[in-house]
Amino acid sequence: MSLPVISLIALAIAIIISCVSTLNIGALALGLSLIVGHYIGGMSVADILKGYPTSLLIMLAGTTFLFAIAQVNGTLTKVTKHVMKLAKGRVGMIPIVLFFIATIVSSIGAGGTTTAALMAPTVMVLAGEMRISRLLMAVMVINGTNAGTMSPIVPGGIIAAGIVGKMGVGDLSISMWLNTTLIHFAAGLIAYFLCGGMKLWKENGNLAQQQLLASMTIEPFNRDQKLTLAGIIIFIIGACGFKMDIGLGAFAIASTLALLRVVEEDKAIKAMPWGAILMVTGVTVLIQMMSKVGGMDLFASIMAKVSTPATVNIVAGTLSGVVSAYASTTGVVLPAFLPLAPLLIQKTGAPPADLIPLLNSIVSCGFIVDSSPLSTSGAIFLANAPAEDNKVKLFRNLLVWALSMAVVGSILCWLFFYILRIGA
């Protein structure tokens, strides 16, 4: 058996195990990199470790440290509640407002998973109080979180920008963020119409229901939260307006906030998603090793055999969506599928101009299925559904929605990015 085949089998094993167990795929990927690359392939350990994304580690650790501070001291929760009051009791507006709240909170640095964790408890209770479908509320908020998850200062956007930046296509961080937002806005519209959003305008509900949001009481921001908000604003302005290094800048601001005692530092460090950071960086090492031994080239050849220049967007998008429904988008799909894009363009004979539409399709389709209860965001909303709810039914509905979005999302991406050339 050739080394490229063995390396591809190693990737498949890692993905399958991550889908059926709680084992961190990053740790597994590092172990497989040693076995396949060093003991079977004869690569030196130093060569394997050259694939470790140190700069990505700094960016992820810095940004998640800053927003862990905002999460632990209650800043993000309070921001979310303040914006939720904008619905002012209009039932039909609530899912729409929640979508945009999730987009904003995710975009400013919290990211999809953190935003979902912040909003899910309140949203699922609110759904019951206002008699709104919990499926609708969960899907709308998850689409909102993912509409912001490719922001240049969010882990998803940082990871994708790091991978795509090596392809010689320029800085696509802003355009990929906007294109992902477009796809999830379209998915949100579909969810709103299919899951009963329009019916909410016909059902006025009783006065108590309408006044529930409008009368929501929220304590003012305290000293620590005001300082944290100021730090986040400085971070956003510095990163977006002055090209401040995202990772080191986040560490500088977060450390300053810690010195000002806005939070217990150890609690913020414990709240950081270390498992996700290990997941992303570990898989990146495996992918880099596969690239060196020909495994990624083989993977691209297999996908190219079932694709044409006109259908490669749909094939790659659907496959990334199906995998993402069971595995991590940022930890598995982005580092595994984005490097395939240039190879797929080459092997299908598609013109180089099709590379950017293909990259947008892989990213958007990877995130559009995150309502799956086997994915982190979907699982968070399922866990926060009240005990009296039929969780089996909600589980099934979330999974059906996610898998259907793998197909619908790939078609939307093909239409928007390949046919209409939006963002190309």
HEC states along 258-285? HHCCCCCHHHHHHHCCHHHHHHHHHHHH
CA 168 to CA 176: how far, in whole Å? 15
Identity at 368, one-letter amino acid code: I
- Asked if the model's pLDDT at residue 115 lies above 70, the reply is yes
Query: pLDDT per residue over 47-98, tens digit each?
Result: 999 989 888 788 888 888 998 898 899 887 787 777 666 666 677 888 998 9
The residue extents of the domains of the chain are 1-50+284-293, 51-272+306-419
Instruction: Retrieve residue 171's tokens.
Output: 């800085």
pLDDT bucket at 350, cuts 50 / 70 / 90: very high
Helix axes of 355-367 and 155-164: crossing angle, nearest 10 degrees: 150
What's the pLDDT score for residue 77?
A: 78
- Asked if the model's pLDDT at residue 375 lies above 90, the reply is no
- Asked if the model's pLDDT at residue 117 lies above 60, the reply is yes
pLDDT bucket at 415, cuts 50 / 70 / 90: very high
pTM: 0.78
CA 256 to CA 272: how far, in whole Å? 17
- Asked if the model's pLDDT at residue 400 lies above 80, the reply is yes
Query: pLDDT per residue over 30-40, tens digit each?
Result: 999 999 999 99
What is the average pLDDT value for the chain, to the nearest integer?
87
CA 138 to CA 386: how far, in whole Å? 13
Asked if 328 and 25 count as a contact pair (C-beta separation under 8 A), the reply is yes
Considering only residues 395 and 417, tell me which one the structure prediction assigns the higher pLDDT: 417
Asked if 281 and 57 count as a contact pair (C-beta separation under 8 A), the reply is yes
DSSP of 389-413, one letter per residue? S-HHHHHHHHHHHHHHHHHHHHHHH
Considering only residues 77 and 363, tell me which one the structure prediction assigns the higher pLDDT: 363
Query: pLDDT per residue over 183-201, tens digit each?
Result: 999 999 999 999 988 888 7
Asked if 114 and 376 count as a contact pair (C-beta separation under 8 A), the reply is no
CA 411 to CA 187: how far, in whole Å? 12
DSSP of 18-77, one letter per residue? HHHS---HHHHHHHHIIIIIIIIT---HHHHHTTS-HHHHHHHHHHHHHHHHHHHTTHHH
Question: Count H helices, E strands: the chain?
Answer: 23, 0
